[in-house]
Structure 1
Amino acid sequence: MALLKANKLTMQFGGLTAVSDFSIEIGDNDLFGLIGPNGAGKTTVFNMLTGVYAPTKGEITFDNKNITGLKPYEITHGGVARTFQNVRLFKELSVIDNVKISFNHEKSATLVESIIRLPKFFSSEDEIEKEAYELLKVFNLHEKANELAKNLPYGEQRRLEIARALGAKPKLLLLDEPAAGMNPQETTELMELITWVRNHFKIAILLIEHDMKLVMGICENIVVLNYGEILAVGTPDQVKNNPEVIKAYLGEEA
């Protein structure tokens, strides 16, 4: 049984079709890559899967529930979290506060208990603080817990964004170009981190990435988009040896 199933998703903007008949099935603990030339529709797919866009056509099922057209926060609460191509942290907040935000939907204290500061409110806050700190330890960011997020080096900001997404305790994590702006050493470390996150948290991961070394090095299956349509699906070896994929990327016959 697929954890995520997208069936013939189509996204139109006026007369422009950005994505056409996109289908994918992702199982528990899968590590999937989504690649394609610039403008192929990759981020549009992510936006449909996470509720930023309601697809013009098609259906999305997650964990046996139809999530087509749900709001982003509803999809997040249901078990899907994401990062963005451009780092989107609360840069004026501390590192730990960025992570604590993702735990807000789990607060056990009611609004009234929070307003008048009843013991249950402080108990809830303490629990979230502890969980957030433990998550930062996993990403080796705990020693900077009280620093402002904007003061972290770029690679650490990327790690913090992944940590924050994991604070929502997803079953599926979507990573939008996690290696963007990283140097080769940071990219290698990220490859190891993504694989470790999948195995440690026992979640499925779908990632968009232009760095072919990263995609081919860690993904078990890859979907190739071109002009909004699926060009190929398969293992890294199958994809990199596909003549149509080579043509799309190199602009010439294999």
Structure 2
Amino acid sequence: MLNVENLSIEFGGLKAVSDFNLTIDEKEIVGLIGPNGAGKTTVFNMLTGVYNPTEGSISYLGESINGLKPYNITKKKIARTFQNIRLFSSLTVLDNVKVSFNYRVNYSLFDSILRTPKFKKEEKLIEDKSIELLKAFSLDTKKDELSKNLPYGEQRKLEIVRALAAKPSLLLLDEPAAGMNPQETLELMDLINWIKDKFHISVLLIEHDMKLVMGICDKIAVLDYGKKIAEGTPNEIKNNSKVIEAYLGEGA
């Protein structure tokens, strides 16, 4: 599904990510881990068009997506969440989800201005689909609340709902458990597995909670100072001396 080869990026002569390689298969959950500042979010930003790589290639479903703008990558069925929550705080929960349908609406500007039957039918369909997604995440009862008024854990869930509304085949989750308590993290583990099976998608996630990563990932790649130092199953990564050293320091 996704094939990344020798991906690198420089900022002012500093190589933030160097020769990164990764493959993701259909319905696979892959973890991307590493110490703070290792380059994980930078990799996400290259995969989603926020940054243009200095070197290397990104192929998705056999097609190069190098240099595409973020909105065009979304059209290719790749969606993401962010390390720092980026909801539209002044919009309702429902409207935050409806935004993701924008790129695939079937009515014209003319239809929207005149509120034609085509426009009304399409908007009703979008609203119904949005509420259906919110219901799956137990957020439908809060559809008319402003997103900024949701508890932190529910804001995280809403970000995932909004990403899923874009109908991705590959979902990128940037620290989805950040700020969650242990019970919420356990629920998130079940939720990610459910998402994979329910929507038949692959998931690439950045996460610092090792219990979550080890509990749900099929394989894990480890970054340190912008370079991949290991890749393997959770059990292989857990016992890898380079990974232990990167997290705990020299001689650990």
- TM-score, normalised by the number of residues in structure 1: 0.98
The answer for the alignment partner of 1:31 in structure 2 is 29
Distance 2:184 2:87 in 1: 19
Q: How does 1:221-236 map to 2 (within 5 A)?
A: 221-236=219-234
Supply the distance in 1 between the matched residues of 2:106 and 2:79 (Cα, whole angstroms). Answer: 21
* 1:164-208 Cα shifts (integer Å, max 9, x gaps): 000000000000000111111111111111111111111000000
1:253 aligns with 2:247: no
Asked if the contact 1:246–1:253 (Cα under 8 Å) also holds between the matched residues in 2, the reply is: no
CA distance in 1, matches of 2:21, 2:34: 15
Contact 1:243 1:253 in 2 (8 A): no
Cross-structure match for 2:64: 66
- Give structure 1 stretches of 5+ with no counterpart: none
The aligned counterpart of 1:162 is 160
Q: Say which of 201, 204, 221 aligns to 1:203.
A: 201
Pairwise CA RMSD of aligned residues?
0.7
Q: Distance in 1 between matches of 2:170 and 2:237?
A: 23
> Which one-letter code corresponds to 2:96 in the other structure?
N
1:97-116 equivalences in 2 (<5 Å):
97-116=95-114
CA distance in 2, matches of 1:10, 1:252: 26
User: What's the counterpart of residue 125 of structure 1?
Assistant: 123
Q: Identify the residue that residue 173 of structure 1 maps to in structure 2.
A: 171
SS at match of 2:177: coil
Structure 1 distance, partners of 2:250, 2:188, is 32
Q: In structure 1, what is the Cα distance between the partners aligned to 2:169 and 2:42?
A: 21
Distance of 1:137 and 1:239 partners within structure 2: 36
Question: C-alpha separation between the residues in 1 aligned to 2:2 and 2:134?
Answer: 28
- Number of corresponding residues: 252
1:7 equivalent in structure 2: 5
Counterpart CA distance in 1 for 2:146 and 2:110 is 30
Note the alpha carbon deviations across 1:126-174, whole angstroms, 9 max, x for none. 0000000000011010011111111111100000000000000000000
2:133 to 122, 132, 135: 135
* Partner residue, 1:149: 147
> CA separation in 1, counterparts of 2:21 and 2:166?
26
Q: Distance in 1 between matches of 2:250 and 2:4?
A: 31
Percentage identity across aligned positions? Answer: 63
CA distance in 2, matches of 1:117, 1:189: 41
TM-score by length of 2: 0.99
Contact 1:33 1:207 in 2 (8 A): yes
1:253 offset after TM fit, Å? Answer: 2.6
Instruction: Look up the match of 1:42.
Output: 40
Shift in Å, 1:251:
0.3
Letter in 2 for 1:192: D
